[in-house]
Amino acid sequence: MTPNYDASMHSVTFVGGDEGRLEVTGMRTLRGAPLDAVDRVDVRPRLDPAVGVWSLRGVASHARYTVRSERDRLDVVSPPLGRNDALVVVLIPIQKNAAWWSLAQDERREIFEARSQHIHRSLPYLPRVARRLFHARELGEPFDFLTYFELAPEHEPAFDELVSALRETEEWSYVVREVEVRMRRTR
Amino acid sequence: MTPNYDASMHSVTFVGGDEGRLEVTGMRTLRGAPLDAVDRVDVRPRLDPAVGVWSLRGVASHARYTVRSERDRLDVVSPPLGRNDALVVVLIPIQKNAAWWSLAQDERREIFEARSQHIHRSLPYLPRVARRLFHARELGEPFDFLTYFELAPEHEPAFDELVSALRETEEWSYVVREVEVRMRRTR
């Protein structure tokens, strides 16, 4: 089975429609406006113009909050994208509100880790979940981030536990739109 | 005189060529590849495709290093863009190297402010210099940032003093390309 996409890619367009290697198994709107239901998602390793029922663009960039000690711990436990057994793919586009973006760096960091423990909570799950964060806000996209995950089917309950816990944190009180697109690699 | 551009704009394209309200009075390559010489620069409040001799795109975004106490001090002394007497406009596109981008947030912050005093050094000059930082790296642009300044002609010596001091800092050791485009508003 070919990997889902080139793990080295810098930019990406997720195209929701009736084509692509990812079969949508469920879509769920957590907050704000939904995305229209689609059958498949095509992952393109570049920024493409609007196509399909919806298309979401993002770029991988440097980490905005992670400090060195956290980075070192994350690097040890983070699996690569494209593992053969990681048949479940989850895309969670997220938009935060203006109040979040008007905070200073130390205030955002304080909420992100000191009070919400985003990294600390995620670490125990990471050996099972490969992830990549794509930034979209700078591209003028409707969502600020496209969070992307790959995992084996047996680890879906653990993944659900993690995202549920994160959604209860103070950080998530700034989230005004969140949609979860759960998919399965079909070839 | 109309202001140079809409100060509320989020995204911008600087088009170097023979059109536009800004007359180029000097271009200087500090590091790396130069930009081709042009007579005028057109400032467009949107992301436009490549036109002119060169075109540089950027988006205003949230501050990546400024903490609350610094932000509060900056806000007090920062003039708005578009002042009538700020006839001198300076565009300094900057590219940092891969070593910079691979640093963790705390390491970049340490170099940026604790060791290079980027904000501390700039504060005394700010009542005279209006500025905006446009991010370009996430757009796949050749430069990482487009730094943009507006000032009255009598404050050019002070501005030169500031940028010279910053170029001597540890932060600038990560800069691999820097071009200074100095302009004058002509209408």
| Interface contacts A/B by beta carbons within 8 Å | 61
Name the residue of chain B whose CA is nearest to A99's CA: B62
The pTM score is: 0.89
Give pLDDT tens digits for B125-176. 999 999 999 999 999 999 999 999 999 999 999 999 999 999 999 999 999 9
Chain A residues touching B107 at Cβ < 8 A: 67-68
Instruction: List helix spans (H) across chain B.
Output: 68-77, 98-101, 105-109, 118-122, 156-167
**CA-wise closest residue to B180 among B171, B169, B162:** B162
What local confidence, expressed as pLDDT, does residue B6 receive? 53
B29: helix, strand or coil: strand
Tokens found for residue A116: 């919400």
Cβ-based contacts of A10 with chain B (< 8 Å): 140
pLDDT value, residue B7: 53
Within 8 A of A45 by CB-CB distance, chain B residues are: none
Buried b (16+ CB within 10 A) or exposed e, B101-121: eebbbbebbbbbbeebbbbee
| Token pair listed for A123 | 């670490």
C-beta atoms of B59 and A135 within 8 A: no
d(CA B175, CA B167): 9
**Type of residue found at A154:** E
The DSSP output letter for B187 is: -
Interface test with B, best of A105, A112, A134 (most B CBs within 10 A): A105
CA distance A140 to chain B (A): 9
Closest to A65 measured CA to CA, from A26, A14, A24, A103: A103
User: Which amino acid would we find at residue B166?
Assistant: L
Cα–Cα distance measured from residue A159 to residue B90, given in angstroms and rounded to the nearest whole number: 49
Backbone angles phi, psi at B112, to 5 degrees: -60, -50
ipTM greater than 0.90: no
pLDDT value of residue A187: 64
A65 to chain B: which residues are within 8 Å by CB? 105
Q: According to the model, what pLDDT value does residue B38 have? A: 98
**Which residues, at least 6 apart from A149, have a Cβ–Cβ distance to it below 8 Å?**
A89, A90, A91, A92, A129, A130, A131, A159
Give the residue ranges of chain B where pLDDT is below 50. Answer: 1-5
Query: Mean of the per-residue pLDDT values for chain B?
Result: 93
The closest CB to that of B67, out of A104, A137, A139, belongs to A104
Q: Which of B31, B30, B173 has its CA nearest to residue B111?
A: B173
DSSP run (H or E) holding A101: helix A98-101
Q: Are strands B88-96 and B40-44 parallel, antiparallel or unpaired?
A: unpaired
Displacement of CA B130 from its chain's centroid (Å) = 10
pLDDT at B187: 64
Which H helix or E strand runs over B14? strand B11-17
C-alpha A143/C-alpha B110 separation (Å) is 30
pLDDT on residue B8: 62
Tokens standing for residue B81: 């863009």
Q: Specify the 3-state DSSP secondary structure of A68.
A: helix
Which residue ranges of chain A lie beneath pLDDT 70?
Answer: 1-9, 187
| Phi, psi for B109 (deg, rounded to 5) | -60, -40
